[in-house]
Amino acid sequence: MKTTALNITEKEFLLSGNRTCPGCSLSLAYRHILKALDGKAIVTVPASCLTVLHGMYPVTSVLVPCVNTPFASTGASAAGLVAGLKAVGRKDLTVLAIAGDGGTHDIGIQALSGAAERQTDFLYICYDNEGYMNTGNQRSSSTPPGALSGTTPVVGKVQPQKDITAIMEAHELPYVATASACHPLDLYEKVKKARGINGTRFMHVFVPCPPGWRFDFSDTVKIGRLAVETGWVVLYEVEDGEFRLTDASESMARKGGKLRPLVEYLSPQERFRNLSGEQIEKMQARVEKRWHKFMERAGFKAK
């Protein structure tokens, strides 16, 4: 049965009153991730906004056990948990490694790649707020070109974004998917599916961040939806090598693949305020090219 807002489990594993900022979509994503795992998980997480959300001992807002791991070691720490659970014969728990883009694309990539290559049986989720947000918005390799950040304060970032999902797909994993906090049912379904698969599963979850991207905190879901409708974010999954678009991306492709103008996504965000018309045109062209490639891969023709 398809999950809807009416039949999704009412069980909560993320309690209200956590320490994230108002309008934080990481909180929204994490709530649905833990629901999809039915709370039957051990989490390992490096320093990030998520450690702040978890809270400081003896206080916590999360009803699952959690290991706070050093920045570079999330993949290695997950491998240790998997070995420990195997040694004590526990088969009922999912090991969830979850880290930000700084902790994944940059600092944790070596341990993640190693664990994936060894086919460690765990789920890795990168939540991507496109910067080192917990320490005040320094640029990461996932910060988009043109975006202002604490370390690119004048002209914005110059280099392109690293495509971590493509890198992880190249490890020939049994399950790789993208998702967005602002499409929570799609996220929920994907985590649920990933939970039932053996081996390394990787998910990239887009999480709009109001203070870092400088938009009004009441607009989080609007920004997340615009990201998909403009093609900035594409929702898909690759299961045993088979690619398919999902949720809103799939419906858009079915209707011929028309995108909303990218400027509708960029302009409400102060971090993009210095973009020139020429830069926006280039970004629009890049987004369209990428979207058409995804459509073609899923067997759709652009009209």
Ligand X SMILES: Cc1ncc(C[n+]2csc(CCOP(=O)(O)OP(=O)(O)O)c2C)c(N)n1
For ligand X, the binding residues (CB under 6 A) are 47-50, 71, 99-103, 129, 132-135, 140
CA distances from 176 to 69, 115, 119, 195 (A): 23, 15, 13, 12
Question: How far apart are CB 190 and ligand X at their closest, in Å?
Answer: 20
Q: Which does 224 bind (CB under 5 to 8 A by kind): ligand X, ligand SF4, none?
A: none
DSSP-derived secondary structure letter, 152: B
Report if residue 280 touches ligand SF4, rule: CB under 6 A: no
* SS3 assignment for 14-27: ECCCCCCCCCCHHH
Question: How far apart are CB 71 and ligand X at their closest, in Å?
Answer: 4
Number of residue whose CB is nearest ligand X: 100
Report if residue 129 touches ligand SF4, rule: CB under 6 A: yes
Name the phi and psi angles at 106, rounded to 5. -100, -75
Closer Cβ to ligand X, 150 or 199, answer by number: 150
Report if residue 210 touches ligand SF4, rule: CB under 6 A: yes
Q: Which does 211 bind (CB under 5 to 8 A by kind): ligand SF4, ligand X, none?
A: ligand SF4
Report if residue 212 touches ligand SF4, rule: CB under 6 A: yes
CA dist 53 and 78 (Å) reads 20
CA distances from 207 to 99, 125, 276 (A): 12, 12, 25
Name the phi and psi angles at 282, rounded to 5. -65, -40
Residues 227, 152: contact at Cβ < 8 Å? Answer: no
Out of 20, 68, 119, 284, name the contact with ligand SF4 by CB under 6 A: 20
Question: How far apart are CB 108 and ligand SF4 at their closest, in Å?
Answer: 17
Question: How far apart are CB 26 and ligand SF4 at their closest, in Å?
Answer: 4
Report if residue 55 touches ligand SF4, rule: CB under 6 A: no
Cβ contacts of 152 within 8 Å, gap of 6 or more: 139, 143, 158
Question: How far apart are CB 23 and ligand SF4 at their closest, in Å?
Answer: 6
Closer Cβ to ligand X, 103 or 156, answer by number: 103
Closer Cβ to ligand X, 187 or 253, answer by number: 187
Q: Which does 94 bind (CB under 5 to 8 A by kind): ligand SF4, ligand X, none?
A: none
Q: Within 13 A of 241's CA, how many CA atoms are on the CB side?
A: 1
Strand 175-180 relative to strand 236-239: parallel, antiparallel, unpaired? antiparallel
CA distances from 170 to 41, 164, 212 (A): 26, 10, 30
Chain residues that interact with ligand SF4, rule: CB under 6 A: 20-21, 24, 26, 49, 129, 133-134, 209-212
